[in-house]
Amino acid sequence: MEIIIAKNSGLCYGVKRALRIAKETRNTKTGKVFTLGDLVHNPQIIDDLKRNDISPVEKLEELMEGTIIIRSHGISPEIYNQLTQKKMGVVDATCPIVKKIQRLVESLTKSKNEIIIVGNKEHPEIKGLIGYSQGKAIIIENELQAKNLPQKKKRAVLAQSTQDLFLFEKAVLALLERTKELRVFNTICKSTQTRQKSTSELASRVDSLIIIGGKNSSNTNKLYEISKRILPRTYFIESSEQITPEMLEGAQKIGLSGGASTPPEAIQEAVHIIKTRFMHKFKGRNEFNVRVN
């Protein structure tokens, strides 16, 4: 049996940076340290941050004192202003790539473009971007919603940084049919694109593929959808405790991958569990290789 770990799986640059900033903030500030929402969409990392006295809060009203960290997804200018009016320290850990998208949306809004964003309207990054468009951006999730938009002379389209490239391209094609002059900005970040490519390549070469990550992580959900399109035996788990014999049954090659918020330890733990808990169940498969590809 072979276990192959997808290249580029695990924490992305923006998440690593936000975690580093959070730890530095905890080490240098006295008083309470909060994050506005979960810093990362991963339950194990959130528990670890709580143990280090860094707690998530969901509502601004809950904040009275201490320091608040803005997570990598960023926030709208309106929420930023509300934060600065509180008597608290504000530390901005917005990913620089998301900042760039925010500036793009701001400038497109100033030049009076109709802005379409292909993304999830409930995701914090998108809520922030809607704020930078002064509430004017139209959010679509797929090609079908693009097809339902009216004909228009001019539009600009961009994507949530963790969008599935295949879905974005389909939405852009649909928009081209109903827009005379369409400006297309592929704002899917490089880290997301390389991760999606590695996982889809792996899905075409293994018998079973397990994606590890938080169920509320947008980019991990996208990885799951991408892999499932290629390999029906794709499974989505939050922790290696959820691995079952059915996921491994009959598979000679097992793939493992994780989203931008999945720590490397979670993938190593999955390897360990497959080895110690399941290998003996499969006759003649007492030896196995682990590699990254």
263 binds ligand SF4 per the rule CB under 6 A: no
In whole angstroms, what is the distance from residue 161 CA to residue 98 CA?
7
Q: Does 257 bind ligand SF4 (CB under 6 A)?
A: no
How far from each other are the two terminal CA atoms of the chain, in whole angstroms? 15
**12 is an interface residue for ligand SF4 by CB under 6 A:** yes
Buried (b) or exposed (e) across 245-258, using 16+ Cβ within 10 A?
eebbeebebbbbbb
In the complex, what is the shortest distance from the CB of residue 70 to ligand SF4, in angstroms, rounded to a whole number? 12
- Across 112-207, the runs of DSSP E, i.e. the strands, are 115-118, 138-140, 152-159, 179-184
Does residue 161 touch ligand SF4 according to CB under 6 A? Answer: yes
What are the respective helix, strand and coil percentages of the chain, to the nearest 5? 45, 20, 35
Stretch that binds ligand SF4, among 22-30, 135-143, 184-192, 282-290 (CB under 6 A): 184-192
Q: Are 60 and 38 in contact (CB under 8 A)?
A: no
Decide if 113 contacts 183 (C-beta within 8 A).
yes
103 SS3 class: helix
**Among residues 120 and 179, whose Cβ is nearest to ligand SF4?**
120
Q: Which residue, 193 or 242, has its beta carbon nearer to ligand SF4? A: 193
Q: Is 189 in the site for ligand SF4 (CB under 6 A)?
A: yes
Single out the residue of 45, 49, 83, 97 in contact with ligand SF4 (rule: CB under 6 A): 97
User: Contact between 158 and ligand SF4 (CB under 6 A)?
Assistant: no
Catalytic residue numbers?
Answer: 125
Toward ligand SF4, which CB reaches closer, 124 or 131?
Answer: 124
- Of the residues 102, 191, 198, 240, which one makes contact with ligand SF4 according to CB under 6 A: 191
Q: Whose Cβ is closer to ligand SF4: residue 109's or residue 262's?
A: 262
- Distance between CA atoms of 148 and 246, rounded to whole angstroms? 41
Is 15 a binding residue for ligand SF4 by CB under 6 A? The answer is yes
Residues in binding contact with ligand SF4, number by CB under 6 A: 15
Q: Which stretch binds ligand SF4 (CB under 6 A): 13-21, 44-52, 226-234, 243-251?
A: 13-21
Q: Does 13 bind ligand SF4 (CB under 6 A)?
A: yes
CB of 39 to ligand SF4, least distance (A): 11
Contacts of 264 (CB under 8 A, 6+ apart): 10, 11
In the shown chain, the binding pattern of residues 101 to 140 toward ligand SF4, with x for contact by CB under 6 A and - for none, equals ----------------------------------------
By the rule CB under 6 A, 3 interacts with ligand SF4: no
Spatial contact of 89 and 68, defined as CB atoms under 8 Å apart: yes
Whole-angstrom distance, CA of residue 240 vs CA of residue 6: 16
Strands 115-118 and 67-70: unpaired
Which residues are at the interface with ligand SF4 (CB under 6 A)? 12-15, 72, 95, 97-98, 161-162, 189, 191-192, 219, 260
